[in-house]
Amino acid sequence: MFNVLWLQSGGCGGCSISLLNAESPDLLTRFKSADINLLWHPSLSEASTDEFIQLLDKILTGEIHLDALCLEGSVMQGPNGTGRFHMLAGTGKSMMSWLARLAEKADYTLAMGSCAAFGGITAAGNNPGEACGLQYDGKVSGGLLGDIWRSSKGFPVINVAGCPTHPDWVTDVLMQLALGDLTGSDLDELNRPRAYTDHLVHHGCARNEYYEYKASAETLGDVGCMMEHKGCLGTQARADCNTRPWNGSGSCLKGGYPCINCTAPEFEEPRKSFTETPKIAGIPIGLPTDMPKAWFVALASLSKAATPKRLKDNATASHIITPPGQKKERT
Tens-digit pLDDT profile for residues 263-293: 999 999 987 899 999 887 777 776 676 667 6
Contact 271, 299 (CB under 8 A): no
Strand, coil or helix: 301: helix
Write down the pLDDT at residue 283: 75
- Residue 158 phi, psi (nearest 5): -85, 115
Contact 210, 317 (CB under 8 A): no
Contact 145, 170 (CB under 8 A): no
Q: Angle 149-152-158 (CA atoms, 0-180°, nearest 5)?
A: 60
DSSP summary character for residue 122: G
Write down the pLDDT at residue 328: 64
Report the alpha-carbon distance of residue 79 to residue 60 in Å, rounded.
Answer: 26
CATH code given to domain 201-316: 4.10.480.10
Residue 97's identity, in one-letter code, is S
Task: Tell me if the bond preceding 164 is cis, omega within 30° of 0.
Answer: yes
- Compute how many other C-beta atoms are within 10 angstroms of the C-beta atom of residue 256: 14
Report the alpha-carbon distance of residue 17 to residue 167 in Å, rounded.
Answer: 9
User: Above 80 in pLDDT, residue 235?
Assistant: yes
Q: What is the 3-state secondary structure (H, E, C) of 276-296?
A: CCCEECCEECCCCCCCCHHHH
Contact 238, 199 (CB under 8 A): yes
Report the alpha-carbon distance of residue 105 to residue 111 in Å, rounded.
Answer: 16
Contact 118, 160 (CB under 8 A): no
Report the alpha-carbon distance of residue 281 to residue 317 in Å, rounded.
Answer: 26
Tens-digit pLDDT profile for residues 291-329: 676 766 777 777 778 888 888 888 888 888 888 876 666
Report the alpha-carbon distance of residue 113 to residue 101 in Å, rounded.
Answer: 21
In the chain, ranges of CATH 3.40.50.700 domains: 2-197
Contact 206, 297 (CB under 8 A): no
Write down the pLDDT at residue 208: 92
Write down the pLDDT at residue 122: 96
Write down the pLDDT at residue 75: 98
Tens-digit pLDDT profile for residues 192-218: 999 999 999 999 999 999 988 889 999
3.40.630.30, 3.40.50.700, 3.10.180.10, 3.90.650.10: which CATH number matches 2-197?
Answer: 3.40.50.700
Write down the pLDDT at residue 95: 98
Report the alpha-carbon distance of residue 219 to residue 253 in Å, rounded.
Answer: 13
In the chain, ranges of CATH 4.10.480.10 domains: 201-316
Write down the pLDDT at residue 214: 87
